[in-house]
Amino acid sequence: MSALPENIHTTFDRILQRSDKEALLNQHGIVIWMTGLSGSGKTTIAVALEKLLAEKGVLTQVLDGDNIRSGINNNLSFSEADRKENIRRIAEVSKLFVECGVVTLNCFVSPTKDIRQQAKDVLGDDMVEVFVNTPFEECEKRDVKGLYAKARAGEIKNFTGLDAPFEAPENPFLNIETVGRSVESCAQEIFNAVMPLIKQ
Ligand code: ADP
């Protein structure tokens, strides 16, 4: 951690510890970081996964790109520097939840290894990476938000997968291929893999 500026006095040592909060909730906080192209299914799967977890009494928080960009990060652009700042804030917000024992379901394109590494640098082993693996052609066919059509028409620049890169994770915790599968089956696969981490 970098040195604190003068006049900043953190209270971390005086508040209830993470372990106390986790005991209270009877769960272990983790960040399930979903990466994948726009329209790959991150948010849809997170919503289904949240339901499965809630049925087992797990407290969660879904964080997704559009919500964060319309709220806490509404002053950030898509410039290189602002993309970095976007991820830094998301990771720090996730850390606050995780320190409280909450399971966060993060739905962010997070297109490069570098960006995901930045999050990992903040979250360490509390973060598991889930690749929502849907090919570009399929995402373009779905075009849930009409963004692919706009990007093709040149109305959106630096669109991930088209004129900005998407670097697939090399060694994700899970690789979820969505084509030809139901949302429920994808969510169930993640649920099965993360439950042992949450209920240790
Ligand atoms: P993202 O959050 O990655 O941008 P969304 O969740 O908003 O993507 O959109 C994914 C779209 O793909 C939804 O319309 C969803 O119904 C559809 N879809 C089809 N099959 C699947 C699947 N197996 N998993 C997730 N989404 C799927």
Residue 66: which pLDDT band, with cuts at 50, 70 and 90? Answer: confident
Q: Which atom of ligand 1 is nearest to the CA of 107?
A: 2
CA 20 remoteness from chain centre: 25
Rounded distance between C-alpha atoms, residue 66 and residue 110, angstroms: 13
Of all protein residues, the one whose alpha carbon is nearest to atom 17 of ligand 1 is 41
> For the whole model, what pTM was predicted?
0.93
Distance 43 CA to ligand 1 centre (A): 7
Beta-bridge mates of residue 105: 32, 62
Within 10 A of 105 (CB to CB), how many other CB atoms are there?
26
What are the tens digits of pLDDT across the range 146-190? 999 999 999 999 899 999 999 999 999 999 999 999 999 999 999
Domains and CATH numbers, the chain: 18-195 (3.40.50.300)
Which amino acids bring their CB within 6 angstroms of ligand 1?
36, 38-45, 107, 132, 142, 144, 178, 181-183, 186
106 closest CA partner among 30, 200, 8:
30
